[in-house]
Structure 1
Amino acid sequence: MPDLSSAGLEPFRALLGEGGLVTDADSLTRYTHDQRALMRGQTPGVLRPRSTGEVQEIVRLAGRLGFGLVPQGGNTGYVGGATPEPGRGQLVVSLERMNRVRDVDATGFTLACDAGTILADAQAAAEARGCLLPLSLGAEGSCRLGGNVGTNAGGLQVLRYGMTRDLVLGLEVVLPDGSLLSDMRTLRKNNIGYDLKQLFIGAEGTLGIVTGVVLKLWPAQTRRATAWMQLAADAPIPEIAALVRRETADLASTFELISASSLALVAEMRGAELGLAAGPGGAVLLELSASSERIPLDDILLGTLEALMEAGHVEDAVLAQSERQRREMWTIRETIPEAEKHAGGSVKLDIAVPTSAVSRFLDRARALVEAEAPGTRLSFYGHVGDGNIHFNLMVPAGSDRLAYTAAVDAGIAHAVYAVAIDLGGSFSAEYGIGRFKRGLLARYGDPARLALIEAVKRAVDPQGLMNAGAMTGSSGA
């Protein structure tokens, strides 16, 4: 175990200077408590480098002194992937001071940033040059690009633009021995052997510390057409999504399913009617976008809605007539997590299934929960265009949230995961594994995949320096 005293941390203070080392208990709290308050981590200090060179020196010094390191961006994750684990003597490496936008290429449609750049700031830098960075999350005002890369974040526009993995052109990564993998090129074609950057996307900081990223951009989407659709009972969601893609020539950027129960939570929190309703099958928030005024988005959306109504899939729809009305639709969708918290919290099961299996999953999972835990209030919603369902069980009134979460995770959650896996799905769609789901990875992971994960970890980080306890929990300083 390394020296966790002030004297043991002094070399880091000398390296990073004023503001580079945080050790007082009150300040440490925001780095050691996970976003959902399910885990209280522990660290003797937080390191706040200002440059890639300082990150390299931190890594070399930590290796010599025996400290484990936990890279942290905005600390907005849901599975404890950036939470220093008690008893491991890990230092947090916060990239919050590495927030420089390095370059925006408006003709090549690329963006280069420090990994500590807040996602919303990167979006704004692209927008200022007439471009779109399509990665969009509820936490975009506080999450950072390095964390987005580490978790392979998805978000609201995956249907059209893909996950973070699909947006990354280049990375800069400090490896566990302090050396630098610098591949910040903006090339779209670059077949020179293994695509090594992919090792670090979704690796949750277990193989190195991402310090820079190059992302793909698109022309700014200056036109939007948005509709709130009330679904008929037993509406075939996969067929609806497929029809939308065909009828709109893939101009749909978002297709968000919202259950009636999730909508009711938002209304309860506001204490007022929302002005928008769900049908018997729930609701869908659909948005088309384009960069050209020559594309008649409103006509395309109207024609698509007519086709859906003629097929009996949609009972009614509201088209946003102004930016204010569009924003209100999105506010309702984005308020659901807050409304769940307001109602006492929820146990969040982050499910992915093939798009064609979404309706089957929902039918089977709801029936299972009703049979195993009658009266359980569900809140489910998600990015159905990519098969991601946030299937959440609300904490019953008067129950302890942490105790209820533990009970669900140990019991009925496994039955829900079994349904997803039986349909070709996964127990982790966009949250990652972190510390909370590593047992699930061991339980449900393919043995060959697990063996390869361990082999890569040993090869790249033989000392177990990087984020020990995340993902597999089997390696660690």
Structure 2
Amino acid sequence: MDADPALDGFRALVGEAGLLTAPDLTARYLTDQRDLVRGVSPAILRPRSTAEVQAVVRLARALGYGLVPQGGNTSYVGGATPDRSGRQLVVSLERMAGIREVDAAGFSLCADAGAVLADAQAAAEAHGLMLPLSLGAEGSCRLGGNIGTNAGGLNVLRFGMARDQVLGIEAVLADGTLFSDMRTLRKHNVGYDLKQLFIGGEGTLGIVTGVALKLVPKPVAHATAWVELADGAPLSGLLAEVRRESADLVSSFEFITRNALDLVKDLGTAAGLKAGPGGALIIELSASSRRVPLDALMEGILEGMMEHGWVSDAFLAQSESQRLDMWRLRETIPEGEKQAGGSVKLDISVPLSQLDAFLARARAAVRQHDPDLVLSIYGHVGDGNVHFNILVPKGADRLAFTREVDAGLAHDIYAIAADLGGAYSAEYGIGRIKRGLLERYADPVRLTLMRRIKAAFDPENAMNAGAMVDPVP
């Protein structure tokens, strides 16, 4: 028997399989990806349709429950984890996972918000197209979460963040009404672009239930290089050279330091990949036509880098397996950090021209704080995003060390980023973990406007309360 008889009303709406209350079934929904936040909830609701989401929202409002939307539960900032009040219900969209339509002629895809990103990618690929959004967690993250956090990923340099790939959105508002703007129009100037408020909104304004996304022609040709960097090689200069000399056909520009590579040394050794004194780059050019001479372009780019003295060695993938070896190594680094005892993840964004200055100043700040700390730095630096991670010292308690860094050293790093025109969150979002940073660093006018928007959409603070912002008083 449920602890709260009122939950029977939700069971009637979503069915027996749509209401989870047993602790062994609910546990995985109540802890964030990094196990930094653990919440309490009397039930996990798993609706099967937008209509059921509307009914759930209306009943929750009548009974005084808050709601926390959840996709694949891959958030790094606790954005999909309930608080500990026991008065928030998790709304998992995992049973709303359908692909509604692929319009090959219109280069668009419409899907339920619970669709797994990899499944949406496969649906596009079946029509000779590509969904550019690509993340390390694409096998488990879901489109609603990608939209709610404005996810970035491997292809941001060329195709932009999730925000740049969204054509339309369907969302259930806090009173149960439906905002439906699933049109796939490329031009639609009829006032405020309301769908943009839900992108990066982390479920605080409503529950996204459907999304229409842009597709692009599927790349059929790649030129992928592993580049060993010389000491002092300027990342911003390298990026500018690659973009200019490739006619901006570069889709990925990934930076990996030697320390980060050491975490997956066995994979690198097996593939013959190593870092130079300045680290390593994965540079990938792509095209949807085999007529574009990508290999020749890449070879010319690498020659130019060597002439500048920026590169100590470089390796151009000669097969798809060699290309995949490079990406497998890059995408395994987060798991390598876990195996090493964990890390404190500082997701930094800076203007492209300030990449090198940020890395120099941030590394110096860490050395000054504690010269024994080990950094794992990598990321999609082609878009200014640096994953500046501090490894947990051997023998230290991960959670205690994380709290210590977050309370002190992290602010030194954030201050450097801010001084250079950057930000303390590039692609992870705010969630619960970075809410204090938003209040500390945000422009007061911006913060006030965010709170007013929250109040306009959700005056009772029922949608993901505790994440990002509360309504303005």
- Normalised by the shorter chain, which TM-score bucket? over 0.9
How much does 1:6 deviate? 3.3
Shift of 1:273: 5.6
Whole-angstrom distance in 1 between the partners of 2:260 and 2:19: 42
1:87 Cα deviation after fit: 1.0
Residue number in structure 1 paired with 2:320? 323
In structure 2, the residue matched to 1:168 is 166
SS in 1 for 2:263: helix
- Structure 1 position 473, deviation (Å): 5.1
**Aligned position for 1:194:** 192
Match of 1:60 in 2: 58
1:179 paired residue among 177, 180, 201: 177
Which residue matches 1:23? Answer: 21
- In 1, the alpha carbon distance for the partners of 2:238 and 2:265 equals 26
**Matched letter for residue 446 of structure 2:** R
Give 1:375 shift: 1.0
**Which residue among 405, 409, 414 is the counterpart of 1:412?**
409
Distance 1:375 1:465 in 2: 45
Give the structure 1 partner of residue 75 of structure 2. 77
Counterpart residue type for residue 331 of structure 1: R
- Equivalence for 1:282: 279
1:266/1:339 contact within 8 Å kept: yes
Give the aligned partner of residue 124 of structure 2.
Answer: 126
**Distance in 2 of aligned mates of 1:81 and 1:474:** 17
User: Which one-letter code corresponds to 1:383 in the other structure?
Assistant: H
SS of 1:70's equivalent in the other structure is strand
Secondary structure of 1:255's counterpart equals: strand
Query: What SS is found at the alignment partner of 1:19?
Result: helix
Question: 1:240-297 CA distances to partner (integer Å, 9 max, x unpaired)?
Answer: 00110000011110000000110011116x6966521111111000011100011011
Corresponding residue for residue 214 of structure 1: 212
Q: Deviations over 1:332-371 (max 9, x none)?
A: 1001000010000000000000011000000000011001
| TM-score normalised by structure 2 residue count | 0.98
Distance 2:86 2:385 in 1: 34
Q: Which residue of 2 aligns with 1:259?
A: 257
How far apart in 2 are the matches of 1:368 and 1:68?
Answer: 41
Looking at structure 2, the residues matched to 242 and 176 of structure 1 have their Cα atoms a distance apart, in angstroms, of 45
Residue 384 of structure 1: aligned partner? 381
SS of residue paired to 1:135: coil
- Partner of 2:40 in structure 1? 42
C-alpha separation in 2, matches of 1:290 and 1:100: 29
1:361 aligns with 2:361: no
Matched, 1:454 2:451: yes
Q: Is the 8 A contact 1:464 1:475 kept in 2?
A: no
Given candidates 290, 313, 334, the residue that maps to 1:337 is: 334
Q: Does residue 443 of the first structure (1) align with residue 440 of the second (2)?
A: yes
Counterpart residue number, 1:92: 90
Are the structure 2 counterparts of residues 280 and 387 from structure 1 closer, same or farther at C-alpha, using a change threshold of 3 Å?
same
The code of the aligned residue for 1:311 comes to H
In the alignment, structure 1 segments of 5+ residues that lack a partner are none
State the superposition RMSD in angstroms: 1.3
* In 2: Cα distance, 1:453 partner to 1:36 partner: 27
Unaligned 5+ runs, structure 2: none
1:23–1:45 CA contact under 8 A, matched in 2: yes
How many residues are treated as equivalent by the alignment?
A: 472
Establish whether residue 204 from structure 1 lines up as the match of residue 202 from structure 2. yes
Q: 1:227 to 1:282 in 2, by over 3 A?
A: same
Partner Cα separation in structure 1 for residue 253 and residue 337 of structure 2? 21
Q: CA deviation at 1:475?
A: 8.0
TM superposition outliers: structure 1 runs of 4+ over 3 Å: 270-274, 473-476
> Do 1:68 and 1:88's aligned partners in 2 also have CA atoms closer than 8 Å?
no
Mapping 1:103-122, distance limit 5 Å = 103-122=101-120
The correspondence for 1:348, drawn from 345, 348, 357, is: 345
Give the 3-state SS of the residue equivalent to 1:6 in structure 2. Answer: coil
| Maintained 8 Å contact 1:435/1:473 | no
> Given the alignment of the two structures, is residue 295 of structure 1 paired with residue 292 of structure 2, yes or no?
yes
Distance 2:56 2:369 in 1: 50
Letter in 2 for 1:307: G
Q: Secondary structure at the match of 1:215?
A: strand
Letter in 1 for 2:113: A
Within 5 A, what are the aligned runs for 1:145-164? Answer: 145-164=143-162
Query: Is the partner of 2:241 in helix, strand or coil?
Result: helix
Q: How far did 1:226 drift?
A: 0.4
Indicate the residue corresponding to 2:367 in structure 1. 370
User: In 2, Cα distance between the equivalents of 1:224 and 1:194?
Assistant: 39
Deviation per residue, 1:440-467 (Å, 9 max, x gap): 0000011001100110111110111100
Give 2:5's aligned residue: 7
